[in-house]
Amino acid sequence: MTSAALAVEQDVRQDVIDFISSFSLETTPNSAAKIASFAEYVRPETPIYITFLPGSSFDATIALATRLRREGFEPVPHLAARSMPNRSFLEQGLQRLRGEADVSRVLLIAGGMPAPLGDFADSMQLLETGLFDRYGIRSIGLAGHPEGSPDISDDDIRAALRWKNEFARRTDASLYLVTQFCFEAGPIVAWDKRIQAEGNKLPVYIGIPGLATIKTLLGHAKACGVGPSMRFLSRQAMNVAKLLTVAAPDRLVYDLAVYKARDPACGIAGVHMYPLGGLKKSADWSYAVADGRFDWNRSGNGFDVQTTS
Does residue 112 have a pLDDT over 80? no
> Are 143 and 123 spatial neighbours (Cβ–Cβ below 8 Å)?
yes
Distances (CA, A) of 258 to 176, 207, 248, 253, 265: 21, 16, 18, 9, 13
| Element of type H or E holding 96 | helix 87-101
Residues 6+ apart with CB under 8 A from 177: 141, 142, 143, 144, 200, 202, 203, 204, 205
What mean pLDDT value characterizes the chain?
89
> Are 168 and 200 spatial neighbours (Cβ–Cβ below 8 Å)?
no
CA 141 to chain centre: 9
What is the pLDDT at residue 78? 98
What is the pLDDT at residue 227? 55
pLDDT in tens, 244-262: 456 789 999 999 999 999 9
Does residue 218 have a pLDDT over 50? yes
What is the pLDDT at residue 308? 74
Kind of pairing, strands 212-213 and 105-109? Answer: unpaired
In angstroms, the CA 220 to CA 12 distance is 30
Mean pLDDT of 183-210: 96
In angstroms, the CA 186 to CA 295 distance is 23
What is residue 180's three-state secondary structure? strand
DSSP string, 115-137: S-SSS--SHHHHHHT-HHHHTT-
What is the pLDDT at residue 145? 92
What is the pLDDT at residue 110? 93
Mean pLDDT of 52-77: 96
CA 87 to chain centre: 26
Residue 234 or residue 283, greater confidence: 283
What is residue 99's three-state secondary structure? helix
Kind of pairing, strands 246-247 and 303-305? Answer: unpaired
What is the pLDDT at residue 302? 82
Does residue 193 have a pLDDT over 80? yes
What is the pLDDT at residue 255? 95
pLDDT band at 2 (very low <50, low <70, confident <90, very high): very low
What is the pLDDT at residue 221? 57
Going along the chain from its start, the domains and CATH numbers come out as 3-213+248-297 (3.20.20.220)
In angstroms, the CA 210 to CA 196 distance is 27
What is the pLDDT at residue 238? 47
Residue 297 or residue 36, greater confidence: 36
| Short-list 80, 63, 98, 41, CA closest to 275 | 41
Strand-pairing partners, residue 129, are none
